[in-house]
Structure 1
Amino acid sequence: MIEDGFRLGRHSFGANELVVMAIVNRTPDSFYDRGATFDDDAAMKRVELAAAQGARIVDIGGVKAGPGNEVGPAEEIRRVVPFVEAVCERFPELAISVDTWRAEVGDAVCRVGADLLNDAWGGHDPDLAHVAAKHGVGLVCMHTGGAVPRTRPHRVGYSDLMGDVLEQTLGLAQRALALGVPSESILVDPGHDFGKNTRHSLEVTRRLGELTATGWPVLVSLSNKDFVGETLDVPLEGRLTGTLAATAVCAWLGARVFRAHEVAETRQVLDMVASIAGTRAPAVSRRGLA
């Protein structure tokens, strides 16, 4: 495990750096943008904007997380591999993450330059970690409570939620390490909304310090999720304020990577938290000096 910086493929991140991971959905049925970046040109414009707004990682996904039409490995590869290759060529300064749980997809995207495999289904395909080790890329180890890909939680319960989060994520991280994934390239994710109801997601946010204290860099995916909407009783389009509040809390508690739809707003929140924490100087400091 590491307590300082981390590395994803060709890209290094500093000890105190709070990193925005921009979401780019290559699906026609995304819950958030409903296919707005399914077209290649629209998706590339999204990457360009995210980079300009301060994202250092882009997370490209070819299958929506929730239930929907069946998308097989061949179709997922068709949606993401040529796009990953194009983004790597056009934006060499960006780390490229691919949101997939399938080893064959992971292998295909790594062959064209992906730096991180974002396994949002908690090791459902155990061979994905082998792929990360084979290519020397990063791997996200996420808690799902054993949920099956593309299913929603139903009356799920935990005797000790944070104990379960720690057991699964750290177990996956140690397995990845044993398989040869570089220690500086393993991230852990508490899995907000995955295998959890709203109260569970609030609890893992409140207790995130228990995960960050392990020394593994923590990724959180909070953006516009159901736990935000239910907590505030707001529709999808009203979830930004709650998302940013949760982002600030997670940053203060030590999370390092923030998967987000709204890059500019997330970047400002993280910069403000870092400045309050004393790890970032204000952009300007004129007040009281004139």
Structure 2
Amino acid sequence: MPYYRPIPRTDRARPAGALPLAGGWCWFDTVEVLDRATPAHLMSAADLPTDMADRLTAPRAPIATLDMGQPQIMGILNVTPDSFSDGGQHFDPGVAIAHARAMATAGAAILDIGGESTRPGSAPVAIDEEIARTAPVIAAIRAQTATPISIDTRKTAVARAAHHAGANLINDVAGFTHDPDLAPFASRHALPVCVMHAQGTPETMQQDPLYDNVLLDIYDWLARRIEALIALGIPRACIVTDPGIGFGKTQAHNLALLQNLSLFHGLGCPVLLGASRKRFIGDISNTPVAADRIPGSLAVALCAVAQGAHILRVHDVPETRAALDLWRAVTFASTP
């Protein structure tokens, strides 16, 4: 079975016949054809099968009112004592609410609230505790701002409380495989979802992760999850995909996914990248302290946007907003 990776470009010198990538800011006229059995090769985008050409070019529908025709920032708010980067910083509800308001003001188009750390080696949190951490904060944020809110959870009861408090999207790091009732809940309430790939659980995921082909294995897994969600009544237009950087991946796996991120547009859904402050950035940039990884996180974010990634899930909203503004100004500036 062939897989098609569009070669994304943003150059202002766009040839006739170039195709828009997911209806966004990138275009392509060349595709890399990947296969498990034969060497990769290039082909003209004009030779794409019609169904795949439609998948790769069609504009993505808005997600929780967010326009997918331009890059969007998802601000991370961990109301936990033990998240890998900012655990404990926003555990106090008052501090969390103030930080959420600051991120929205600084340019976050959506806020992602999580009450259970999913860092490597972390243990599950009891449902009642996760609800107590997240629902009151979501309700308070909703009372102060109309900014869309995502609940980062694997559990239906937590999502239900979050939705009642004002959450607009469910972001599940387990790809809706942990709790069989979570996807039907999203379907019943017409909530958009983000389905992320992870190999293993947070407790075990970094214990020698293995793939036959990291790109194609994750693509196939996400494709199966999308079809399962569609069968449960969640339209493709309401599904965001996330390849799960750092979740059961080595540094080599992460880099391969980032280098080939445009492959995932073939799923026909918006693409979210969550690489902010991850360990591989620290390993490459020699920044062992997560809070010192802002420059590396920005570099990765801009690489993702240059491949058409629709949503950047980040800790550092003002810095990411500034980087995107400068990237956009340089990339799309008119010639005097």
Same fold by TM-score greater than 0.5: yes
Partner of 2:169: 116
CA distance in 2, matches of 1:126, 1:17: 33
Report the CA distance between 1:15 and its aligned residue: 4.0
Amino acid at match of 1:6: A
Structure 1 residue 251 corresponds to structure 2 residue 305: yes
Aligned-partner Cα distance in 1 for 2:69–2:248: 30
Alignment of 1:174-213 (within 5 A): 174-213=227-266
In the TM superposition, residue 135 of structure 1 has moved relative to its aligned partner by 1.1
1:84 equivalent in alignment to 2:138: yes
> Which SS does the other structure have where 1:6 is aligned?
coil
Please state how far the C-alpha of 1:179 moved relative to its aligned partner: 1.0
Which of 105, 108, 117 is matched with 1:55 structurally?
108
Partner deviation per Cα, 1:240-276 (whole Å, 9 max, x = no partner): 1111111011000011001111001111222333344
Q: Which residue of 1 aligns with 2:152?
A: 99
Aligned equivalents of 1:151, 1:80: Cα separation in 2: 25
Matches within 5 A, 1:159-174: 159-174=212-227
Q: Within 2, Cα distance between the matches of 1:131 and 1:277?
A: 41
Question: Who is 2:58 aligned against?
Answer: 3
1:17 aligns with 2:70: yes
* Ranges of 4+ aligned residues in structure 1 off by more than 6 Å: none
Say which SS state the counterpart of residue 201 (structure 2) adopts.
Answer: coil
Count how many residue pairs are aligned between Structure 1 and Structure 2: 278
Q: CA deviation at 1:33?
A: 1.8
On the 8 A contact 1:7/1:138 being kept in 2, the answer is no
* Aligned-partner SS, 1:22: strand
Are the counterparts in 1 of residues 76 and 313 from structure 2 also a CA contact under 8 Å?
Answer: yes
Aligned to 2:7: none
Amino acid at match of 1:90: Q
Gaps of 5+ in 1: none
Q: Describe how 1:215-226 pairs up with structure 2 within 5 A.
A: 215-226=268-279
Do the aligned partners of residues 19 and 150 (structure 1) sit closer, same or farther apart at CA in structure 2, a change above 3 Å counting? farther
Task: Choose 1 or 2 for highest CA Rg.
Answer: 2
Q: Is the 8 A contact 1:3 1:216 kept in 2?
A: no
**Cα deviation 1:3-24 (Å, max 9, x = unaligned):** 324334xx42224221110011
TM-score, scaled relative to structure 1: 0.89
Percent of paired sites with the same residue: 33
Residues 277 and 170 (structure 1), Cα distance of their counterparts in 2 relative to 1, 3 Å cut: farther
The answer as to whether partners of 2:68 and 2:270 remain within 8 angstroms in 1 is no
Residues 68 and 157 from structure 1, CA distance in 2 versus in 1: closer, same or farther, beyond 3 angstroms? closer
Aligned to 2:17: none
Residue type matched to 2:280 in 1?
Answer: F
Does 114-123 or 18-27 show the bigger shift? 114-123
1:150 deviation in Å? 4.0
CA distance in 1, matches of 2:281, 2:108: 22
Q: Which runs of 5+ in 2 are unaligned?
A: 1-54
Whether the aligned pair in 1 keeps the contact of 2:195 and 2:241 (CA below 8 Å) is: yes
RMSD: 2.0
